[in-house]
Every structure is written in C-alpha cells, then in structure tokens.
Amino acid sequence: MDQRDEQEFAEYFAAKRDSVRRTAYMLCGDWHRADDLAQTAFVALHRRWLKIRDRGATDAYVRKTLVRASIDESRRPWRRERFTDEPPEPAQSSPGFDEQVVNRQDLLEGLRQVPPKQRAVLVLRYFEGLDVTGTAKALGCSEGNVKSQTARGLANLREVLGEEVEANG
C-alpha cells in the first residue's frame, strides 16, 4: 500500500473505530471481546483495502466481517462454558410488566443468552437500524431467514427477560 492508501485507511479507522467497537459490544456483551472483534474486522479490512473499489460499501464490509467474527468466536467450545460461584437460584414469580423496569444491563445480559445468529440479526436490525434487506445483505442470507431469525430472536429475548419486548422495526 502506498502512503495515500495508508492515509485513507487511517482516516476511515479513526472515524469508525468507536461505532464498530460499540456494535461489537452489542454482539458479544464484553468490552474486551468487542475490542478483539473490532480489531479482527479492521485487520480484514486493511488486507482488502486496495481491492475495495466502492468506498461507500466499506461500512457494509466491516459490519459483515464483524458479525461473522462474532459468530465464529461463539462457536469455540470454551465460549460456551459459564462459570459461577454459586448454583443458580430457582425461578421466582416476577412482577407484572408495568412493575418491572428493564435497564440497559438487563437487555445486554438478555442478548448474551440469545443464540449468536439471532443476536446478530437483532443487533443489526434494532441497534444498527438496518432493514430486512440490508440485514440479509450484511449476513449473506435470504430476507426470509432474517425475518425468521428476528422472530425467534425476539421470542428468545422475551423468554430470557421474562416480559414483553416490543419490536419497532
């Protein structure tokens, strides 16, 4: 890469690193893993920087790389293990929806418990604001798959949170 290309990449990186890191955090729920995922996405982008003709598609490329890296990472066996100091408590009856307050931490914890592909669809649809078509392109799947993964992901999130989750998209 020549000096001009390196400068263009550096400017893109500086402009997008925080938003890519936030998206990675929404996908995995851990800032350290989010940093690793963002780094993986930017390293992949740097390798392909000269081959990208349409600079307008760069965000989509980074997003797709980020989602794929997140899904690949979640498939590793050591990521499935959850260590706790105490055994889980039996479920208690929860108050009604109007008495419960869902905060950001509850949502992030709920997202961690949704399967990776469904989590990716939910993050792209509701956090990144992509429509069904844009999400399908980012994930390399059909629009029908996005719709079914969205429905399943919301159902799983509702179950995990134990309340009604509204979909505004």
Q: Are residues 104 and 52 located together in one domain of the fold? A: no
Q: Are residues 72 and 106 located together in one domain of the fold? A: no
State how far the alpha carbon of 20 is from the alpha carbons of 25, 37, 66, 144, 146, in Å: 9, 9, 8, 26, 21
Whole-model pTM? 0.56
Is the model more confident about 104 or about 102? 104
CA distance 147 to 77: 28
What mean pLDDT is predicted for residues 107-129? 89
Q: Are residues 51 and 113 located together in one domain of the fold? A: no
Tokens coding 8: 């263009």
Question: The dihedral of CA 87, 93, 95, 97: what is its sign?
Answer: positive
Domain limits at 108?
Answer: 100-169
Q: 77, 109, 142 — which closes off a domain? A: 77
Is the model more confident about 82 or about 60? 60
Q: Are residues 33 and 72 located together in one domain of the fold? A: yes
The pLDDT score that the predictor gives to residue 106 is 81
**Residue 134's CATH number:** 1.10.10.10
